[in-house]
Amino acid sequence: MKLLLDQLIDRARVAGLRKTKALEAILTCLVECDRPMTLNEFTQCGHLSQKCDKATVFRLLQKLTDKGMVRRLGLHERAAYFTLLIPGTHHDYLICRDCGNIEPITSPCPVHQLEQKIREETGYTNLYHELEFFGQCPSCASTDQPSKARD
């Protein structure tokens, strides 16, 4: 993973960012955690806590998002989620609506064909998609009142 971190720092530098402690810390955090996290979660991550102000983390995430190295996700929480964007990689997510657990889906994403079709039919460019499944995880279902079952 050391290699990946170095690559990311290079990409950031090429994109015009300076190599600072905060940048290294946040990229390390992104690589090690490898799941969408909120701004708050980032600032509490060991690599960042007590080292970087929340505003700094926010501005870095913003810059990295602008440069296409990070993607900002809306996952139904009030807070926005950010995750590392690695070329050639794509993740969809499965989210428990009770405990908020987020897990990446490993199955191949069936949407790319539709994405291509939309590109052709609508003329939209620079397309990407975001796909999330929401439900109740087995653990939350088991602690649930039997009567609460819905749908």
Partner DNA sequence: GTAATTGCAAATACTTTGCCACGTA
Partner DNA sequence: TACGTGGCAAAGTATTTGCAATTAC
The phi and psi torsions of 70 (rounded to 5 degrees) equal -135, 145
Q: b or e along 84-111 (b: 16 or more beta carbons within 10 Å of the residue's beta carbon)?
A: bbbeeebbbbbbbeeeeebeeeeeeeee
Residue closer to DNA, measured from CB, 20 or 116: 20
- Assess 137 for contact with a copy of itself (CB under 8 A): yes
Nearest of 21, 26, 23, 27 to residue 43 by alpha carbon: 26
**Partner whose footprint covers residue 146, from DNA, a copy of itself, none (CB < 5 to 8 Å by kind):** none
Nearest of 70, 74, 119 to residue 93 by alpha carbon: 74
Interaction mask 7-46, a copy of itself, x per CB under 8 A: ----------------------------------------
Of the candidate residues 14, 16, 18, 128, the single one contacting a copy of itself (CB under 8 A):
128
The phi and psi torsions of 105 (rounded to 5 degrees) equal -95, 130
Least Å distance, CB 95 to DNA, is: 16
User: Which residue type is seen at 32?
Assistant: E
Q: Quick check: 136 and 94 in contact, CB under 8 A? A: no
* Residues in contact with DNA by the rule CB under 7 A: 13, 16-23, 38-40, 51-56, 58-60, 62-63, 77-80
What is the contact surface with a copy of itself in residues (CB under 8 A)?
Answer: 68, 72-78, 80, 94, 96-97, 103, 105, 107, 109-111, 113-115, 117-119, 122-138, 141, 150-151
